[in-house]
Structure 1
Amino acid sequence: MTATAAEGRPQRLRDNRDFRLWWGGTLLSSVGDEATRVALPLLVLLVTGSPLHAGLVGSVQAIPPLVLGLPLGVLVDRVSRRSVMTTAAFVSTVSIATVPVAFLMDALTLPQLYLVALCNSATATAYRIANTAALPHITGPHRLGEAAGQNETIWGVSALLAPPLAGLLFETVSPAAPFLVDALSFTVLAVALLAIRSPLGPDADSAPLRWRRELTEGARVILRLPVVRCLTVLATIGDFVFAGIGLLLIVLARESGASGLEVGAVFTAAGVGSLAGSALARRVELTLGLRAAVIGKHWLTAAFFPALLLDVPSWGIATVWGLIAFQVAVLNVMQMKYLMAQVPGDHLGRAQGLMTLLSQGSVPLGYALTGLLLDLFGARGTVLFLDAVLLALAGYATVARGLRATAENVHFDGQPLGGPGGKP
């Protein structure tokens, strides 16, 4: 299952050929996919001139994770994860490639763009679930914390690079260019996945399929694992609170007189903070321990957030959000690490399917809540309301029993996982 050095010790990930293939392919496809996410509403606006459809084509992408998260989790635990991932990559290639072809033939229609948005979201959901379940097979049990950090780095890099890349290609090359780049990136990903030598699971023949039980198995597994259960609650509520943070920050920046360029800098700071958090998450946990790191993260976030109430320039807003993004990335890495570490390998797909449902399901609800709060109470009232939720979340983290199971008590395949008392 794992790649190890000749003397039996786990390889460094940078020396792991399969991990390099996975990392490069996933990074490239993530940048391409995020560029498509930015370019798609722009293309809809260009084709139709309708802001309504430009917004709706983005919102339909929330449907597949909600509808397919649990069934895809069952699928990932029963069939070849390599097949799921490569099929998702090839289907994405074909789906996205239809956009530049139709655009060049002057045959692009709104229904096609809706179908592409739905298809791309469905394949991304399948890949995300299979990716989490397959990653421990590539890295081995000794490198899960580092692997989780690298996974978070991929999404941070794509969030930082893709928006300006999409805008540049859309404006200077062709509105179809971001989609062509994305299609090529998924082709590279499929080739990289096929070149990975490690078996990606599942490890054993599946039991007879019982849909009712299988669809709820991920929840049962997570509920039995105190650390994973606690981190799941914290992450899900955090996703809900911060779903509309972009809208809030734009309103705050505009109220402070920020230009469009300065508003963009706020989000750049968030990307930098996220990258720093993913790079340092493992070191934070090794230094502080799981419980102190998680509790500290939540109290610091609740303490930083009210700084948005101050009449600060855009660089001040960027600094606050960058610090918060750093802490969010640290928590994301820890959550993924302990999910991969404690959930049995043949249940990881179903557990990640549930996590996908929870995280993606909270986004549209949280975004709608932020819009409602802004409309009712304004930007500063929204900050106060959300900070009250953050304070309650920090209080929960402080008293949660699950976090008392420290890292030295957590094992995977019989091996300690790092943290104080364990080996990194």
Structure 2
Amino acid sequence: MKAIQIKEENLSLWKNKNFLLLWGGNVISSLGLQMYTIAIPLLIYEMSQSAIAMSAMRAVEFLPNIFIGMIAGVLVDRINRKKMMQCTSLIQFISIFAIIVLLLVNHLALWHLYIFGFILSSAGYTFGNANHSIIPQIVAKEQLTSANAKLSFVNTIIQTAGPGLAGALLALVSFTSTLSVYLVCLLLLFFCVQNIQLPTVAKEKPKSKGFWQDMKEGIAALLQNKTLLTPTVTVLFVNLASSLIIGVLIFYVTDKLGATEMQIGLMFTISAIGGLLGASVVSQIRKRFGRGNIYTFCLLFDVVGVSCLIFAPSWWTVGIALGIRTFSTTISNIIYFTIRQEFTPNHLLGRVAGTSSMLMKLTLPFGLLLAGLWAEWLPIPILFAISAAIFLILFICLYIHPFRKLV
């Protein structure tokens, strides 16, 4: 049985049924998520006209990474990962359904969005952890970079077309109809996951010693893995710099640059093209350069992208500036995910992913709320300048750090 499974894992990824189902589920869920990502901030803006309310929603969506990160990791390692993905996709479906119903009966309030946004994000985060942890179970080790690149590539394609489509839908129909697309996508995702068959060998893992002990093992595994810990700490500060941008971006282009829903969608489409390029070239770049060097110099692209954002005079120039950042972020994410999958035993991967994700997201709620408060009284481009300075400092630190030559 093991020999058959190993043979299947070493097939071309496009002939691997389990990978195709995972890939297809990512296509569907990414498309639906674009509807939600564009619709919800604009819905909050229509309801409140407040930058604080918009950035608060983004903070709420990141809170699960902090509060349930390690707990989700333990659950992913303890429970069948396929069942976990099914359960969390169903929770997301119920959350979106509740928002749609409240919209239809005209009783939706901001606090409803915050509560269901938290639930949706919690389920989505846990689903993502299980999705990340399942990849080494269904593909060979030497295929991890390629598998992550293919998943990132298709997600970026959806991110390229999705915002424009979401903006067009919002211009033509209601928020309810746009969110209904996400509802259908979540249902299709559930059926994709249902047909995935995990190899029997993947169930061979040490017996649990208790919930807290499992959490401690995940923490210890991360702290002892210096190859993974360095980029994890780096992302902690990358997320701080990013949160100063994403917390006010839609408010900035809407309120200050006068962009319409359609233009916002097209702006994110332009931005996603950078990610598309990054996902398409990462495998070739990896053949020529070490992962440490690639990861380090991606930060230099971040400096350039955010610096351009400071002086962008219109929505489409903002899109170009974001595209430079998306190019580097896509490459660095693929490199990071591959390092985490390759250097972590699979029975610990859920916990290490949960612990590292929690650590990386600690600064996000603070940055998002700070950005919202800043935007109410102070010029937003100054925030972008602060963000660029953080990226530059991180690049210098990693350039002189041994990590650059380790992997």
When normalised by structure 1's length, the TM-score is 0.81
Q: Do the aligned partners of 1:298 and 1:397 also contact (CA within 8 Å) in 2?
A: no
- Give, in whole Å, the separation in 2 of the partners of 1:173 and 1:265: 17
Q: Distance in 1 between matches of 2:3 and 2:23?
A: 16
User: Counterpart in 1 of 2:141?
Assistant: 141
Distance in 1 between residues matched to 2:203 and 2:53, nearest whole Å: 41
Contact 2:163 2:265 in 1 (8 A): no
Point out the more displaced range, 73-82 or 224-233. 224-233
Q: Does the residue aligned with 2:223 lie in a helix, a strand or coil? A: helix
SS state at 1:332 partner: helix
Query: Matched residues in 1 for 2:249 and 2:73: separation?
Result: 34
Name stretches of at least 5 consecutive residues in structure 2 with no aligned partner.
none
Match runs of 1:19-418 below 5 Å: 19-43=19-43, 51=50, 56-104=56-104, 106=105, 108-110=107-109, 112-199=112-199, 201-211=202-212, 213-246=213-246, 260=260, 265-303=266-304, 305-308=306-309, 317-371=318-372, 378-379=379-380, 381-406=382-407
Q: Deviations over 1:183-224 (max 9, x none)?
A: 22122112111211233845325322141x432433321222
**Identical residues among aligned pairs (%):** 21
| Structure with the largest fraction of helix | 2
Indicate the SS of the match to 2:363. Answer: helix
The answer to whether the Cα contact below 8 Å between 1:148 and 1:337 also exists between their aligned partners in 2 is yes
Flag the 1:32–1:360 CA change in 2: closer, same or farther, 3 A: farther
Look up the match of 1:12. Answer: 12
CA separation of 1:299 and 1:168: change in aligned 2, threshold 3 A: closer
What amino acid maps onto 2:275 in structure 1? Answer: S
Contact 1:64/1:125, CA 8 A, preserved across alignment: yes
Question: Aligned pair in 2 of structure 1 residues 302, 311: CA closer, same or farther (>3 Å)?
Answer: closer
- The TM-score normalised by the length of structure 2 is 0.84
Measure, in 2, the Cα distance between the counterparts of 1:151 and 1:40. 25
* Deviation string, structure 1 residues 39-82 (Cα, Å, up to 9, x no partner): 33555666x66757666555432332221111111111111111
Give secondary structure in 1 for the equivalent of 2:198.
coil
Structure 2 counterpart SS, 1:393: helix
Give, in whole Å, the separation in 2 of the partners of 1:322 and 1:286.
24
Instruction: Flag structure 1 segments of 5+ consecutive residues without an equivalent.
Output: 407-424
- Structure 1 range deviating more: 30-39 or 80-89: 30-39
Q: Within 2, Cα distance between the matches of 1:341 and 1:198?
A: 19
TM superposition shift of 1:381: 4.0
**Cα pair distance change 1:102/1:315, threshold 3 Å:** closer
Structure 2: which amino acid aligns with 1:335? Y
TM-align CA RMSD: 3.4
Cα pair 2:22 2:193 within 8 Å, conserved: yes
Contact 1:85–1:131 (Cα < 8 Å) also in 2: yes
Give the 3-state SS of the residue equivalent to 1:206 in structure 2: coil
Change (3 A) 1:374 1:352: same
Query: Take 1:9 and 1:174, find their aligned partners in 2: how far apart are those partners?
Result: 44
Q: Residue 343 of structure 1 aligns to a residue in which SS?
A: coil
Aligned residues of 1:245 and 1:370 also touching (Cα < 8 A):
yes
Alpha-carbon distance, 1:303 to partner: 4.9
- Once the two structures are overlaid, the 10-residue window that deviates more, 74-83 or 311-320, is 311-320
Relative contact order, higher structure (CA 8 A, sep 6+): 2
